[in-house]
Amino acid sequence: MFLRNSWYVAGWSHHVEPGALVARTILGERIILYRTSTGKVTALEDRCCHRFAPLSRGRLEGDDIRCMYHGIKFSAEGRCVEIPAQDQIPPGLKVRSYPVVEKDRWVWVWMGAAAAADASLIPTALNHDHPDYHMRTGEMAYEANYQLVHDNLLDLTHLAFVHEKTLGATGDRLWSTVQPMVMALERGVRISRWFPGRSRPRYVNLPAEPSDTWNTFDFVVPGVFLLRSSGHPMGTADAFPEGPDDSLAPRWVVLTSQAVTPCSERKTLYYYSACQRASHADDSFMAIQLGLFQVAFAEDKSMIEAQQGVIDETPGRSLTTLQFDRSITHFRRLMARLMREEQPTPAATAAAE
């Protein structure tokens, strides 16, 4: 089950090169992406309405796309504009077109009713295009349901165990011992904590010097993770227990934005950035950060896919919820409510019949 009235990341902007046909499956729907001559990204149903050949095996002709089974051609809006050897085009012959917005170097596709598309609902990635920051990108596929990926991101306790040699290599299981502050957001949850007196991340190009580290992330609908980590002089944690004031100049700032996109019930795509202030990063340090992310996310993938395997083998058994699962529970409830709300009400269904 998926939330349909939402924007999903269909790829990085650089995935959709001019002239290329890019096939994606999102919420179980096959979609094809391409750029028209103006550079705007088009998203169409990847299925010719005639005999269901995939348009991703078709050919771009100007801004149109031609199915290469029997030659039927569609405009960038999905309208049939040519049928070989047939003068009349049946009115209404078309493939579905999806609203697209390109923002923060991500291609966002609206999977619900086109009329309901509201660009203001697109979460804002953290400084993907900011001139003072360096950014690297990655992506990965999980053979697992998107909810397990959400759960994983919502509870960073697992850094102390899954990532004990990578992202959570603190030597003292730090991530499982310092409990965070949890704050409900309108469309998600904010989770923040101080780690006083810690060393800087090893991919930050600054002298070693203990900092009070502030770590805060938002996890928002439909599955976007926005994390900011910053280092401050010792004592800041005590002075600002609720988090650093905007007026403070942190020693270093590291960001990552991550988007979880369900392909199907058992396949999920995952797009992530590694991002930090240019003042304390160069190519080699960015490569270290991105490499660390790649290794760590492969650790997640291995664990989550194993977990999915066990879940699928034991249907009808319920997971146990512990204290540190509260943000998971909060977000699962929020998603469930939004999915419920987008179901037609009995009254609306009756009226439509």
Give the binding site for its own copies (CB under 8 A): 28, 30, 46-47, 49-54, 57, 66-72, 83-86, 90, 93, 151, 155, 157-158, 160-162, 164, 173, 176-177, 179, 302-303, 306-307, 309-311, 313-314, 317, 319-320, 322-324
Burial class (CB in 10 A: 0-12, 13-18, 19+), 297: buried
Alpha helices in 189-325 (DSSP H): 236-239, 283-313
Positive or negative, the CA dihedral 145, 149, 155, 161 is positive
Burial class (CB in 10 A: 0-12, 13-18, 19+), 130: middle
Cβ proximity to its own copies: between 73 and 232 the closer is 73
* Spatial separation of the C-alpha atoms in residues 324 and 159, rounded to whole Å: 13
Shortest Cβ 50–its own copies spacing (Å)? 5
Cβ proximity to its own copies: between 30 and 266 the closer is 30
Shortest Cβ 94–its own copies spacing (Å)? 10
Cβ proximity to its own copies: between 180 and 201 the closer is 180
Cis peptide before 346 (omega within 30 of 0): no
Shortest Cβ 194–its own copies spacing (Å)? 15
Cβ proximity to its own copies: between 90 and 210 the closer is 90
Cβ proximity to its own copies: between 105 and 267 the closer is 267
Cβ proximity to its own copies: between 66 and 128 the closer is 66
Shortest Cβ 160–its own copies spacing (Å)? 6
Cβ proximity to its own copies: between 90 and 235 the closer is 90
DSSP 158: G
Q: Which of 268, 290, 250 is nearest to 140 (CA)?
A: 268
Dihedrals phi, psi of 87, to nearest 5 degrees:
-75, -45
Contacts (Cβ under 8 Å, ≥6 apart) of 238: 196
Dihedrals phi, psi of 274, to nearest 5 degrees:
-115, 130
Cβ proximity to its own copies: between 288 and 303 the closer is 303
* Spatial separation of the C-alpha atoms in residues 204 and 24, rounded to whole Å: 35
Cβ proximity to its own copies: between 185 and 303 the closer is 303
Q: Find the angle CA(198)-CA(199)-CA(202) to the nearest 5 degrees.
A: 140
Shortest Cβ 52–its own copies spacing (Å)? 5
* Spatial separation of the C-alpha atoms in residues 217 and 180, rounded to whole Å: 11
* Amino acid found at 302: S
CB 144 within 8 A of CB 223: no
Shortest Cβ 18–its own copies spacing (Å)? 23
Shortest Cβ 125–its own copies spacing (Å)? 28
H or E element at residue 255:
strand 252-264
Shortest Cβ 234–its own copies spacing (Å)? 24
According to DSSP, the residues that pair with 276 across neighbouring strands are: 134, 254
Shortest Cβ 78–its own copies spacing (Å)? 14
